[in-house]
Amino acid sequence: MMDKAIAWAVVAMLLLAGQPAAAEDCGLKQLAALDIVILDDGSLAVPVGIEGVRQLLVVAMERPHTALFSDFTRETKPRTRALPDGIIIGGVSGITTIDEFRIGSVVSKNVRVLRQEERDVVRADVVGYLANDILENFEVELDIAHRKLNLFDQAHCPGQLVYWTDAAAVVPFELQEGGAMSLSMELDGKPVTVAFGTKPGHGTIGLATAKHIGFDPAGHFKTLTMSGISINEPAIDVVDVKSVSSSMCKPEKGSFRNIICDGTEVQLGLDEFKGLRIMVSFKEKKLYITGADAH
């Protein structure tokens, strides 16, 4: 059997090619206006084209790699290369090559994605996850209130991204190796490192961190603050990281959806962002944030 570290290196090498590239143009150019479908569990799904057929993918901005479910790949039979020795790591059993992948007006050839062995989304017409390996080629506007995911060309003038209003909070972020976007915030006035993502539901914070900032587990957090924007009574659950690390931080199967596994102290959920409109600039490594109805 191949060592897991070596096997992950093989996965990384197989994923190097085939991602969409943006055109050179300083003006803000929209490439896609995708209607968001909100699933029963609160996940956000958007339409893409796979081999000329419309499919739904869950938006997973906490994931490093786009993935297709194996039941879909068995049915459609795209080119797939199994991991060496038939091993399965973190639920991944191989690399699938999509001959034609369309998102908005952008069409890419020979796009390599992961094959996820087990389906963890109930809805049958959702065929996988759309992750940062594809999204990081765009500037991404997340407008949950109006159910829109808009994609823009990265060839634009610096800072000229928020077109719907004059002022926005600007929050720098770092893109971690594990796929999470890490940013600095204050939780009840105490500095914390936060992972931004699009998983549904409440956020999470480790028990040790909660105790360190003086939080009473029987109470509620009061404010989460970033660059002048405050979220009152944020929905953040306290978890014992040790009790979930083996099954969720390093999953043997499933979705890669980590809880506090990238050096971050708080993992945010979508519940914190429903009232916000966010432009994620992968080019500038910044979040531009306004209220959902700012104009």
Dihedrals phi, psi of 132, to nearest 5 degrees: -70, -20
Q: Please check whether residue 241 is in contact with residue 260, taking contact to mean a CB–CB distance below 8 angstroms.
A: yes
Q: Looking at the predicted structure, is the pLDDT value of residue 111 above 60?
A: yes
Q: Which is it for strands 44-50 and 106-116: parallel, antiparallel or unpaired?
A: unpaired
Residue 161 lies in a domain: no
Of the residues 105, 124, 152, the one at which a domain ends: 152
Q: What does the alpha-carbon distance between residue 158 and residue 254 come to, in Å, rounded to a whole number?
A: 38
Q: Which two tokens stand for residue 134?
A: 């594809």
Residue 238 amino acid letter: V
Residue 10 amino acid letter: V
Of the residues 120, 152, 184, the one at which a domain ends: 152
CA distances from 229 to 70, 86, 198, 201, 236 (A): 41, 48, 19, 20, 17
Reduced to 3 states, what is the DSSP secondary structure of residue 126? strand
Predicted confidence at residue 219, as pLDDT, reads: 65
Q: Looking at the predicted structure, is the pLDDT value of residue 132 above 50?
A: yes
CA distances from 104 to 33, 45, 46, 108, 265 (A): 7, 14, 10, 11, 35
Reduced to 3 states, what is the DSSP secondary structure of residue 51? coil
CATH code at 238? 2.40.70
- Could you tell me the pLDDT band of residue 252, with boundaries at 50, 70 and 90? very low
> How do residues 138-192 score in pLDDT, each as one tens digit?
999 999 999 999 999 999 999 899 999 999 999 999 987 766 789 999 999 999 9
Q: Which two tokens stand for residue 277?
A: 């409109």
- In 153-239, where do the E strands start and end? 169-172, 174-175, 181-187, 190-196, 203-206, 223-226, 229-232, 236-239
Question: Do 128 and 177 belong together in one domain?
Answer: no
Q: Looking at the predicted structure, is the pLDDT value of residue 251 above 60?
A: no
Domain residue limits at 199: 170-290
Reduced to 3 states, what is the DSSP secondary structure of residue 135? helix
The reply to whether the predicted model has a pTM over 0.95 is no
- Could you tell me the pLDDT band of residue 210, with boundaries at 50, 70 and 90? confident
CATH code at 44? 2.40.70.10
Residue 165 lies in a domain: no
Q: Looking at the predicted structure, is the pLDDT value of residue 4 above 60?
A: no
Q: What does the alpha-carbon distance between residue 239 and residue 36 come to, in Å, rounded to a whole number?
A: 30
Question: Do 26 and 147 belong together in one domain?
Answer: yes
Predicted confidence at residue 173, as pLDDT, reads: 94
What is the helix (H) or strand (E) element at residue 49, kind and residue range? strand 44-50
Q: Please check whether residue 231 is in contact with residue 219, taking contact to mean a CB–CB distance below 8 angstroms.
A: no
> How do residues 48-86 score in pLDDT, each as one tens digit?
999 999 999 999 999 989 999 999 999 999 999 988 877
Kindly report the number of other CB atoms within 10 A of residue 160's CB atom.
10
Q: What does the alpha-carbon distance between residue 180 and residue 17 come to, in Å, rounded to a whole number?
A: 21
Q: Looking at the predicted structure, is the pLDDT value of residue 254 above 50?
A: no
Question: Do 142 and 176 belong together in one domain?
Answer: no
Q: Looking at the predicted structure, is the pLDDT value of residue 255 above 50?
A: no
Question: Do 8 and 55 belong together in one domain?
Answer: yes
Q: Indicate the number of domains in the chain.
A: 2
Residue 200 lies in a domain: yes
Q: Which is it for strands 53-59 and 126-130: parallel, antiparallel or unpaired?
A: parallel
Predicted confidence at residue 244, as pLDDT, reads: 41
